[in-house]
Amino acid sequence: MSRKYFIAGNWKMNKTPEEGAKLASEIASIVSKDASVDVVICPTFTALDRVSQAIEGSAVKLGAQNLYPKTSGAYTGEISPEMLREVFAKFVILGHSERREYFGESDAFVNEKVKFSLENLINPILCIGETLEQREADETLEVVKTQLLGGLVGVEASQMGSVVVAYEPVWAIGTGKTATPKMAQEVHGSIRALLNEKYGDAVGEKVRILYGGSMKPANAEELLSQKDIDGGLIGGAALDSNSFCDLVAAAKRAP
Ligand code: PGA
């Protein structure tokens, strides 16, 4: 089963609108109209509009880093899917470990957001992953299973074409420590098996499963050549157009 590679940049709380537009233009001019890899960039809310304009006409797509599962109303500080659609955002990162850790997001809340984003035509990138403590206690597969199935409660097989999963071992995020390709593939393989079990092979085999956690040009090739690693969710290396586009190029070369 061949799946189209998917490289997403998670800019986190970095880049002003001005800086974001510059970075996005550089990426757009390198990627141009080449859609052989899905390329998505996820700036902060204030930079979305400028970045959206900067990538117009290129194959680069826009994503947000969060949303709130309501249409509108008294939810101070939050953003609705409709507002994201208005600036042409197509994707949203949900359940990132930083949101789970610093903002107390539970699987149930992440699930509400996943369902609401799908109903409102924004494609969720559902992030899951274990902490170092959990890995050392040999709980990785259990944690990943709970977060995956918890995030997908009530999501139908027919909606899974719009869902991307990102496996991000928390201990590898921003630390320079990467899971070895073998370690990552082991978890990706079990995520695939869970998806196949829940939705059937025809659906599960089509879902893109990204790796995230200190992915950079130097380690991308080996990670991307693993059977169930279909791309990357990139933090640090997404803040520079050369390193980010080198990752896109690595995905293009991957088998
Ligand atoms: P990193 O971040 O590439 O800087 O480790 C990845 C992420 O948190 O999505």
Is 133 annotated in the active site?
Answer: no
How many whole angstroms from its chain centre is CA 230? 11
Question: Ligand 1 within 6 A of 212 CB?
Answer: yes
Give 252's Cβ-side CA count (13 Å radius). Answer: 11
Predicted confidence (pLDDT) per residue in 69-85, tens digit: 999 999 999 999 999 99
The phi-psi region of residue 151 (left if phi > 0; otherwise alpha if psi is between -120 and 50; otherwise beta) is: alpha
Are 236 and 206 in contact by the 8 Å Cβ rule? The answer is no
pLDDT of residue 138: 96
pLDDT of residue 1: 61
Beta strands in 158-217 (DSSP E): 164-167, 208-212
Residues (pLDDT < 50) of the chain are none
Full set of structural domains in the chain with CATH: 6-20+30-253 (3.20.20.70)
Name residues whose C-beta falls within 8 Å of residue 225's C-beta, 6 or more positions apart in sequence.
181, 254, 255
Are 149 and 191 in contact by the 8 Å Cβ rule? The answer is no
Instruction: For 209-225, give one letter per residue: b (16+ CB within 10 A) or e.
Output: bbbbbbbbeebbebbbe
Strands 89-94 and 38-42: unpaired
Q: Which of 18, 96, 156, 186 is catalytic?
A: 96
Q: For residues 44 and 169, give the distance between their C-alpha atoms in angstroms, rounded to a whole number.
A: 23
Question: Ligand 1 within 6 A of 189 CB?
Answer: no
Distances (CA, A) of 206 to 2, 8, 21, 25, 148: 8, 18, 33, 31, 16
Are 233 and 166 in contact by the 8 Å Cβ rule? The answer is yes
Burial class (CB in 10 A: 0-12, 13-18, 19+), 59: middle
Name residues whose C-beta falls within 8 Å of residue 133's C-beta, 6 or more positions apart in sequence.
none
Entry pTM: 0.98
Predicted confidence (pLDDT) per residue in 112-133, tens digit: 999 999 999 999 999 999 999 9
Give residue for tokens 């896109």: 248
Give the position, in ligand 1's atom list, of the atom nearest the Cα of 127.
Answer: 9
Question: Ligand 1 within 6 A of 63 CB?
Answer: no
Q: For residues 158 and 248, give the distance between their C-alpha atoms in angstroms, rounded to a whole number.
A: 28
Question: Ligand 1 within 6 A of 224 CB?
Answer: no
